[in-house]
A and B are shown apart, each in its own frame.
Chain A
């Protein structure tokens, strides 16, 4: 498999996962905010923070209103992390990797992209936005389902799987950052009243409610939710599960041995995090640290298998 192809498939998967996650996150936030009374210190601004685009947003807008925030996160092409930008990048990567995947894979992403572009006007009202998000989430799932059913578990599939899971782990860790707001010592009484609803919505944004309930047979509380999202080995969006998936794929790729100890260490670190003994500030730092480690992992994957970072001298040795 060409190094260039590996890189494109990896990014295609990352961007598609980001597309789906953004849709999911905004959808969940919409539901949450409709439920909340005035005075709860949680709003669209937190969403900007989770997505890591607060600064970019305030360069363009003053007010983090529902309209401004959703447009910036969904349709603004100047925001590299917006849903539309992610989807466009995904499409561009798959367009240049058509020789690696069944035709329908390209067609599905292309159709979704055309749909998104043709329906940007509907984003200004809540109903239209909800339908739009539903369609995008369904489109991403169709793609994942199609690939599961028709793509050989070859190196191509492995790079797709690595990209998807790295992006997923990153997003779950960002959503967990909500917890630092929800657990803050100085949180308002209003917020305390609505706590359960808030935690349910955190789970919802990851489609994790039912799986959580089946796993944790207890009333919903912050500590259990965070533990579940971090360390559950079976839930596909739990951070540890994502790392295990990545490890599984990497172990089947050529020249991968160098990475094994690092992956092992990363998993142990995640499992060792004690939510109970962590203050919200510490939690925030732990999550930031995790995100930095995911970034390191990405860099190592790129150095190992992708074209742009391969040195000529290194190649000559092979």
Chain B
């Protein structure tokens, strides 16, 4: 009798599966990986899992969870089975992401200057005025290259039709890129023989690209710019990433207390030599905490006078304050129009169909179809405050009914997508779990897209919530080039 294959019990019929096609055959790009896993057998795969877990502990790859008992550093939940995307497909995605960020930056720059898109009637004026991420303090600003969102993390999902859709664009302080890089480091440790035989695009040049992008933003281009990563500190859930990126770029990792704005409207950091000027700040602090002089008066995370320095053109902030105006799920619905309007191009990547509750007709539809829709607040991130209709209780549906009626502008709804699945090691066997993908896009003088991105996986069976703060894990993502 033949040994039962590890794929024998794998049932991926609920959604599009990234590795196994209908009929149980592996997809072309995944054939080698699927065979390789088969040749290893389940016991050896479990051995590799232990190795991965040990590596994560030793490398100290953690994220912080806020809880009543204090902040706990948790080991990064990593699934060792990689997710593959064919290079041919990826080239299109990459072009689509660059196109999207370009249009978004045109939009933000327009919003804070001429507001032509509103005058031309494509976007309603109150959409901007009512956005909680619109900062009137930024009106009239023109950051270098017209780029406001220099670092963007867009979430992509593959639906039942096998196509990739953009679910949202994170333009404030998107995180996760360090885990993308660390995931590859772990994979190299546990599956070295596999990486040797396949042509997988490397991911570890991101810090170099980030550094160059940040350097291109420096106000004075003659000197080597002094670049700093501004973190809220060790209790922030993404502190690991802030330290990681600073370390990889050789930049200073600073907290608000390390910086000072003097009467000359320049930003300085407190060093052992005295004060040193800072040219570019990659800030990982939300707008409202940046500068107590302008925003939250009691913020101890920020730097007094930082906005003054930025407005005077003496320091570059990435992302620019106010960039989040386009990180709004209502604005999202208009991105395809923006691409046509600003770039005169057809969008390469499609949006997920979106109902705006601010529109009375669409709102009526949403309220009548709540059990089948996903409802999201316009400005939240991290998967908080969402309703997943098909998984919701009657009580939750009722609650959202009221929430939407009270504040329709604050909600959008989308059809519940059958997010694609990927084989994931659960309970000592491979089971399909829903995934998404967060590539990172940079735009300064030039544009750059990571090779792949961070694949997030909902580890609970059937769950569609992939956020690490809510029980999600991650996978290494391989862009595989099969042309020799």
| A interface residues (Cβ-Cβ under 8 A, vs B) | 1-6, 95-96, 98-100, 103, 106-107, 110-111, 114, 155, 253-255, 305, 307, 310, 315-316, 318
Q: Do residues A98 and B247 form an inter-chain contact, with CB atoms below 8 A? A: yes
B139 within 8 A of A: no
Closest chain-B Cβ to A111's Cβ sits at a distance in Å of 5
Q: Do residues A95 and B270 form an inter-chain contact, with CB atoms below 8 A? A: no
**In the A-B complex, the 9 residue pairs with the closest CB atoms:** A318-B274, A99-B246, A99-B247, A254-B273, A110-B60, A98-B243, A305-B272, A99-B253, A3-B270
B478 within 8 A of A: no
Of B260, B271, B272, most buried by chain A (CB within 10 Å of CB) is: B272
Residue of A nearest to B257 (CB): A307
Q: Do residues A307 and B270 form an inter-chain contact, with CB atoms below 8 A? A: yes
> A3-B270, A255-B274 are contacts. A98–B254 as well, Cβ < 8 Å?
no
B205 within 8 A of A: no
In the complex, 9 of the A-B residue pairs with CB atoms within 8 angstroms, ordered by the A residue number, are A1-B271, A2-B254, A3-B258, A96-B234, A99-B250, A100-B247, A106-B60, A315-B270, A318-B274
Q: Do residues A307 and B258 form an inter-chain contact, with CB atoms below 8 A? A: yes
- Residues in B with CB closer than 8 Å to A5 are 252-253
Q: In the complex, A305→B272 CA distance in Å?
A: 5
Closest chain-B Cβ to A89's Cβ sits at a distance in Å of 13
Q: In the complex, A111→B255 CA distance in Å?
A: 27
Q: Do residues A155 and B272 form an inter-chain contact, with CB atoms below 8 A? A: yes
Closest chain-B Cβ to A306's Cβ sits at a distance in Å of 9
Q: Do residues B257 and A4 form an inter-chain contact, with CB atoms below 8 A? A: yes
Q: Do residues B272 and A254 form an inter-chain contact, with CB atoms below 8 A? A: yes
Q: In the complex, A107→B247 CA distance in Å?
A: 14
B193 within 8 A of A: no
Q: Do residues A2 and B258 form an inter-chain contact, with CB atoms below 8 A? A: yes
Contact digits for B430-468, partner A, Cβ 8 Å, 1 yes 0 no: 000000000000000000000000000000000000000
Q: Do residues A2 and B252 form an inter-chain contact, with CB atoms below 8 A? A: yes
B244 within 8 A of A: yes
B262 within 8 A of A: yes
Q: In the complex, A2→B274 CA distance in Å?
A: 9
- Residues in A with CB closer than 8 Å to B271 are 1-3
Within 8 Å by CB of B60, from A95, A307, A310, A318, lies A95
- Residues in A with CB closer than 8 Å to B255 are 4
- Residues in A with CB closer than 8 Å to B244 are 98
Within 8 Å by CB of B57, from A2, A96, A98, A114, lies A114
Known: A4-B258, A103-B59, A318-B274. 12 other contacts (CB 8 A): A2-B270, A96-B234, A99-B243, A99-B253, A106-B60, A110-B58, A110-B59, A111-B58, A114-B57, A255-B273, A307-B257, A307-B258
- Residues in B with CB closer than 8 Å to A155 are 272
Q: In the complex, A96→B243 CA distance in Å?
A: 7
Within 8 Å by CB of A315, from B58, B243, B246, B275, lies B275
Chain B positions 115-167 with a Cβ under 8 Å from a chain A Cβ: none
Q: In the complex, A308→B55 CA distance in Å?
A: 36
Closest chain-B Cβ to A139's Cβ sits at a distance in Å of 12
Residue of A nearest to B185 (CB): A103
Q: In the complex, A100→B249 CA distance in Å?
A: 11
- Residues in B with CB closer than 8 Å to A95 are 60, 234, 243
Of A5, A99, A114, most buried by chain B (CB within 10 Å of CB) is: A99
Closest chain-B Cβ to A157's Cβ sits at a distance in Å of 13
Q: Do residues A315 and B257 form an inter-chain contact, with CB atoms below 8 A? A: no
- Residues in B with CB closer than 8 Å to A107 are 58-60
- Residues in B with CB closer than 8 Å to A6 are 272
Q: Do residues B58 and A3 form an inter-chain contact, with CB atoms below 8 A? A: no
Residue of B nearest to A113 (CB): B60
Closest chain-B Cβ to A156's Cβ sits at a distance in Å of 10
Residue of B nearest to A6 (CB): B272
- Residues in B with CB closer than 8 Å to A318 are 274-275
B251 within 8 A of A: yes
Q: In the complex, A4→B271 CA distance in Å?
A: 8
Q: Do residues B58 and A310 form an inter-chain contact, with CB atoms below 8 A? A: no
Q: In the complex, A318→B260 CA distance in Å?
A: 13
- Residues in A with CB closer than 8 Å to B275 are 315, 318
Chain B positions 252-294 with a Cβ under 8 Å from a chain A Cβ: 252-255, 257-258, 260, 262, 269-275
Within 8 Å by CB of B58, from A4, A98, A114, A255, lies A114
Within 8 Å by CB of A1, from B60, B247, B260, B272, lies B272
Q: Do residues A315 and B260 form an inter-chain contact, with CB atoms below 8 A? A: yes
Residue of A nearest to B59 (CB): A107
Chain B positions 48-73 with a Cβ under 8 Å from a chain A Cβ: 57-60
Q: Do residues A3 and B272 form an inter-chain contact, with CB atoms below 8 A? A: yes
- Residues in B with CB closer than 8 Å to A99 are 229, 243, 246-247, 250-253
Q: In the complex, A1→B250 CA distance in Å?
A: 12
Closest chain-A Cβ to B230's Cβ sits at a distance in Å of 12
Q: Do residues B274 and A315 form an inter-chain contact, with CB atoms below 8 A? A: yes
Q: In the complex, A272→B257 CA distance in Å?
A: 44
Q: In the complex, A310→B253 CA distance in Å?
A: 19
